[in-house]
Amino acid sequence: MKILELSRLAEKLDRFFHLVIWEKKDDFEVVAILAEDFQDAFPLPMEVQAAAAEIGVFLDTTTAARLQIEGMPDDFWEEFDEITYGKYLKVSRLGQPGRKYLEIFRAVKTGQNFDRSSFGDLKLSESDLLKVARWLRQQSIFDHRNGDLIMEILTQL
């Protein structure tokens, strides 16, 4: 299903871009740009920023600004759903493998007040949870103060 804001953005671009988005309940974030390789979406290329500003659309790159997208685990990039928006824009939506990392990252970053209802859609296996826990530990994304919250979230899943 096409996203209206991205359709409008595509009409304003005059060169090709391939964005990777994380589709959430009522919104989306741009998490990467695909050129030769996957690259952080923060900051977005000036052409994309200018086109978005021209149509009054804010392209959220909050998660890309906080994580090193290039350092994500290999399975993060699996199961894309690609949609072409006109001549100059292709968008890949993260599949379940990528979403699991970002949903858990966002839950820990937000803290106790995070709405965890999105977790039900993830349907994570024990193997998935182990991969996420290993990623959190290896990347040292959070300090020891978040340990209890991380364990609570992983246990809930």
**Chain segment 24-36, per-residue pLDDT in tens:** 878 899 999 998 8
Looking at residue 137, its pLDDT comes to 73
pLDDT at 42: 93
Q: What's the pLDDT at 141? A: 64
pLDDT digits (tens, 9 = 90+) for 51-84: 999 999 999 999 888 888 888 898 999 999 999 9
Residue 110 has pLDDT above 70, yes or no: yes
Name the one residue in this structure whose structure tokens are 């993060």: 76
pLDDT of residue 140: 62
What is the arithmetic mean of pLDDT over 99-118? Answer: 78
**End-to-end Cα spacing for the chain:** 28
What are the sequence ranges of the domains in the chain?
4-94, 97-156
pLDDT(155) > 80: no
Report which of residues 150 and 75 the model is more confident about. 75
Least confident of 40-54, 80-94, 107-121: 107-121
Contact 33, 47 (CB under 8 A): no
Q: What are the residues whose beta carbons fall under 8 Å from the beta carbon of 55, sequence distance 6 or more?
A: 5, 8, 9, 11, 12
Neighbours of 36 (CB within 10 A): 5
Contact criterion met (CB below 8 Å) for 78 and 97: yes
Handedness of CA 84, 23, 150, 43 (dihedral sign): positive
Q: How confident is the model at residue 150 (pLDDT cuts 50, 70, 90)?
A: low
pLDDT, position 144: 59
Q: Which residues contact residue 60 at a Cβ distance below 8 angstroms, ignoring those fewer than 6 apart? A: 27, 28, 29, 30
